[in-house]
C-alpha cells in the first residue's frame, strides 16, 4: 500500500519534494548542504508544488522559499536536527533494518499501557536509554508503551504538546532512527508502542505554517493557540496533512496505536468528519499490514459516539480515556477530591457507576460546568475505555507536580493500583507508578523567545488559579524544573518501592488470570457494593472460573456477604498480609476460604481477591 506524504520522499538516490501552498504563485526548493542549489518547483491543480531531484543523498539539508521569499523550513519535515528554525533534513526510511517481522500486534483488551515522557524517563532522556529498561517493564506485566508527543518542539525540554513539526521526531530524543530502534526493541519483547499526537493545535515557537497555506481558522477558538482549519476554505489540504501524518507513524515507524490529544478541540462540520475519514484510512492500512492499528481518543465530551462505529454515526475510535473513572476514584482516595472533583463526591456510588457503565455524568447537571453534561455509555464494552489513577495531566497540573505516592498512604496506594488493574477496562500506569516513584512531574519548556516565556509563566499561574494557596509554581523555563522531574529508577528495589513493585506484578498476574476477553462485555463482570464502604467486582463463570475482588475504601473493617450460588472461594491475595506492608506486621486479614452467601470481614482500606470453585471441588 503506497502512502503519499508531503515533504521529502527519498528513494534510490533521488528525492521527490512536495509542499502544499494553494495560494502561492511560486515555490523554490533551496538545497543548502552538502551541495547548495536552487530548484524551481512545479505547481499542480490541487495546490501542491512538486519536484524530483536526482543525486540528493540522505542527510541533505533544505528549505523552501514560498513566492521566492525567505528560507523557510518544511512544515512536513521528517527531521529537524538543528532545531525548529534550522534547515529540514532528508530521511531515508528504507535504510533502517527492522527485526520485528514476527510482530502481529495486540488487541485492545490485552493491553496494559504505560505512559512515559521520553525526556524524563531516564537521565539521558533519549529513546535508546529506554531500551535497557524494557525487560523490567515486561517482567512487571506491562505490554504497551504510550509515549508522550515526540514531534519536534523548540529547544530540548517540553511536554511535547508544543510541537511544530508533526512529522519530525524530536532531535534531542534521538531523531527518527532512535524512535525506530525503540519500537523495534519493544516488539522483540512483545511490547506494543502507542504515540501521543496533537492535531488540535500547533505550538508557538518555530511555527511556519502560515507562511505556506491557510492551516488555521478564526472560525473557532482553542485554549492553546490558533484553531486548525478542518472545515473552512482550503481545508482539504489540511485534512490530508493530518490524516497522512497518522499513516506516517504506522507505516514508517511501525507504531501500534495513536492517542489523539483533546479531540473535542478539533472542530469539523464537514459531511465526512475528520475522525471518520482518519478511521477509514487507518483501517485500510491495518488490513494491508495485517495487524491491529489502534486509535485512542482523549475526549472531554462524555459522548459514546467517540467509540461508536461510523456506520452508527460515531467517530470510530477504538478506545478513549475514561476521566470519569479517575475522578470518582480520586474523590474516594484523597481529601481534596471534594474541591477538585465536586461532581464525583457522592460516596461509593460514582465509582460503582464508573465500573458498571463507564461515564458517571450521563446527562446529569454538572456543578463544574454549570449545565447538564454527558450521555450514557452503558452499552459500550469495557475494552473501549482506558482507566488510570495518574497521567501526565493529573500529576503535571498540580502546583507541585505531586504523584499519588506522595499524596496517599501505603494502603490507599495499593487500593488505587488494584482498582484499575483488576477493572474490566484497559489499564494505564504513569511512568514510575509501578514502584511508587516520588519524583514530581512538573510542567517545563525551553522556548528561546523571552516574551513567550513570560506569557507561559503568566498563563501557568492563571491556569492553576485557586490551587496556588500553597505557593508559586516552579518556573517552567528553568532547567532545574525539568531535572526535578527525572525518574529515580534505582528506587524500585528499595523499601516500600520494592513492595509496591511486587504488588503491581501480583495484580497483573491476577489480571491475566481473571480478566479474559469476555470480561469486557457489560454484565459479565458484576459490580456490587457493600454499604458505603466498598465495591465488589464479581466475574461469574469466566474461562478461568469465577473470581471476586473486594475493594474496601473505608478506614474501618467492613462486613461483606459473599455473592454467588454453590461456590467455594479460596483467597488469592490480601493487601493486609505482612508481605504487602511497609512494616513487618500486617492488618486484619480476610478468611482464607469462604462460601457463597457467607458473611466475612475484610480489613480497613484493603484489597482481597478470591477464586471461586464449585462447592466440594476445591
Does residue 357 contact residue 385 with C-beta atoms inside 8 Å?
Answer: no
For residue 5, the number of C-alpha atoms closer than 13 Å in the C-beta half-sphere is 26
Catalytic annotation on 177?
no
Catalytic residue among 162, 231, 240, 298: 298
Does residue 238 contact residue 212 with C-beta atoms inside 8 Å?
Answer: no
Does residue 567 contact residue 534 with C-beta atoms inside 8 Å?
Answer: no
Task: Provide φ and ψ at 275, rounded to 5°.
Answer: -70, -35
Does residue 194 contact residue 146 with C-beta atoms inside 8 Å?
Answer: yes
Q: What angle do CA 70, 217, 75 make, to 5 degrees?
A: 35
For residue 205, the number of C-alpha atoms closer than 13 Å in the C-beta half-sphere is 24
Query: Residue 49: CB partners within 8 Å, gap ≥ 6?
Result: 18, 19, 20, 21, 24, 27, 41, 42, 43
Q: With CA atoms as reference, report the closest residue to 476 among 495, 461, 497.
A: 461
Which residues face 227 on adjacent strands?
217
Q: Which three cell numbers stand for residue 63?
A: 528549505
End-to-end Cα distance, the chain: 55
Task: Provide φ and ψ at 214, rounded to 5°.
Answer: -75, 70
What's the distance, CA 614 to chain centroid? 41
Catalytic annotation on 357?
no
Does residue 577 contact residue 589 with C-beta atoms inside 8 Å?
Answer: yes
Q: How many CB atoms lie within 10 A of CB 350?
A: 22
Does residue 450 contact residue 407 with C-beta atoms inside 8 Å?
Answer: no
Catalytic residue among 115, 146, 256, 261: 261
Does residue 393 contact residue 559 with C-beta atoms inside 8 Å?
Answer: no
Query: Residue 491: CB partners within 8 Å, gap ≥ 6?
Result: 435, 437, 438, 497
Query: Residue 230: CB partners within 8 Å, gap ≥ 6?
Result: 238, 239, 242, 266, 267, 268, 270, 274
Q: What are the catalytic residues?
A: 261, 298
Amino acid at each position: 500500500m503506497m502512502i503519499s506524504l508531503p515533504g521529502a520522499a527519498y528513494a534510490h538516490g533521488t528525492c521527490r519534494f512536495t509542499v502544499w501552498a494553494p495560494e502561492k504563485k511560486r515555490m523554490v526548493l533551496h538545497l543548502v548542504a552538502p551541495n547548495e542549489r536552487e530548484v524551481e518547483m512545479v505547481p499542480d491543480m490541487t495546490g501542491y508544488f512538486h519536484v524530483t531531484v536526482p543525486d540528493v543523498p540522505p542527510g541533505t539539508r533544505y528549505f523552501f522559499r514560498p513566492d521566492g521569499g525567505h528560507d523557510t523550513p518544511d512544515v512536513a519535515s521528517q527531521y529537524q536536527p538543528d532545531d525548529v528554525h534550522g534547515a529540514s533534513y532528508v530521511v531515508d526510511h528504507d535504510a533502517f533494518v527492522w527485526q520485528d517481522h514476527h510482530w502481529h500486534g495486540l488487541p485492545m483488551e490485552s493491553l496494559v499501557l504505560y505512559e512515559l515522557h521520553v525526556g524524563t524517563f531516564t537521565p539521558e532522556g533519549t529513546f535508546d536509554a529506554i531500551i535497557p529498561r524494557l525487560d523490567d517493564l515486561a517482567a512487571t506485566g506491562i505490554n504497551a508503551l504510550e509515549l508522550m508527543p515526540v514531534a519536534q518542539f523548540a529547544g530540548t525540554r517540553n511536554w511535547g504538546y508544543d510541537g511544530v513539526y508533526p512529522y519530525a521526531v524530536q532531535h534531542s530524543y534521538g531523531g527518527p532512527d532512535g524512535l525506530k530502534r525503540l519500537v523495534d526493541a519493544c516488539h522483540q519483547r512483545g511490547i506494543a508502542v502507542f504515540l501521543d499526537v496533537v492535531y488540535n493545535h500547533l505550538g508557538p515557537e518555530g511555527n511556519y505554517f502560515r507562511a505556506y497555506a491557510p492551516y488555521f481558522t478564526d472560525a473557532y477558538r482553542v485554549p492553546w493557540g490558533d484553531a486548525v482549519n478542518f472545515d473552512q476554505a482550503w481545508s482539504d489540504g489540511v485534512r490530508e496533512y493530518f490524516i497522512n501524518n497518522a499513516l506516517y507513524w504506522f507505516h514508517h515507524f511501525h507504531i501500534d496505536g495513536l492517542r489523539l490529544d483533546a479531540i473535542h478541540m478539533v472542530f469539523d462540520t464537514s459531511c465526512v468528519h475528520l475522525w471518520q475519514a482518519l478511521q477509514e484510512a487507518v483501517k485500510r492500512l491495518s488490513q494491508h499490514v495485517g495487524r491491529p492499528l489502534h486509535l485512542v481518543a482523549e475526549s472531554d465530551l462524555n459522548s459514546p459516539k467517540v467509540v461508536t462505529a461510523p456506520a452508527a454515526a460515531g467517530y470510530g475510535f477504538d478506545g478513549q480515556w475514561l476521566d470519569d473513572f479517575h475522578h470518582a476514584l480520586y474523590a474516594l482516595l484523597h481529601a481534596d477530591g471534594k474541591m477538585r472533583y465536586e461532581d464525583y463526591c457522592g460516596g461509593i456510588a460514582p465509582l460503582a457507576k464508573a465500573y458498571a457503565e463507564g461515564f458517571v455524568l450521563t446527562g446529569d447537571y454538572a456543578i463544574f460546568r454549570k449545565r447538564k453534561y454527558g450521555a450514557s455509555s452503558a452499552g459500550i464494552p469495557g475494552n473501549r475505555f482506558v482507566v488510570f489513577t495518574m497521567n501526565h495531566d493529573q500529576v503535571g497540573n498540580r502546583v507541585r507536580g505531586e504523584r499519588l505516592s506522595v499524596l496517599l498512604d501505603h494502603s490507599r496506594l495499593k487500593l488505587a493500583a488494584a482498582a484499575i488493574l483488576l477493572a474490566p477496562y484497559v489499564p494505564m500506569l504513569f511512568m514510575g507508578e509501578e514502584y511508587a516513584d516520588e519524583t514530581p512531574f512538573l510542567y517545563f519548556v525551553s522556548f528561546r523567545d523571552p516574551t513567550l516565556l513570560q506569557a507561559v509563566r503568566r498563563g501557568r499561574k492563571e491556569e492553576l488559579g485557586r490551587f496556588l494557596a500553597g505557593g508559586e509554581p516552579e518556573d517552567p523555563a528553568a532547567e532545574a524544573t525539568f531535572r526535578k522531574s527525572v525518574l529515580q529508577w534505582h528506587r524500585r528495589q528499595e523499601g516500600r518501592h520494592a513492595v509496591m513493585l511486587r504488588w503491581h506484578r501480583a495484580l497483573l498476574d491476577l489480571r491475566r488470570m481473571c480478566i479474559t476477553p469476555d470480561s469486557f462485555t457489560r454484565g459479565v463482570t458484576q459490580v456490587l457494593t457493600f454499604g458505603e464502604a466498598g465495591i465488589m467486582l464479581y466475574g461469574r463463570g469466566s474461562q478461568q472460573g469465577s473470581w471476586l475482588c473486594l475493594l474496601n475504601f473505608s478506614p474501618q473493617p467492613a462486613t461483606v456477604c459473599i455473592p454467588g450460588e454453590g461456590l467455594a472461594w479460596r483467597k488469592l491475595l490480601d493487601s493486609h498480609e505482612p508481605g504487602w506492608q511497609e512494616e513487618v506486621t500486617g492488618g486484619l486479614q480476610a478468611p482464607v476460604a469462604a462460601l457463597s452467601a457467607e458473611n466475612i470481614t475484610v480489613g480497613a482500606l484493603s484489597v482481597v481477591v478470591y477464586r471461586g470453585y464449585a462447592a466440594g471441588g476445591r
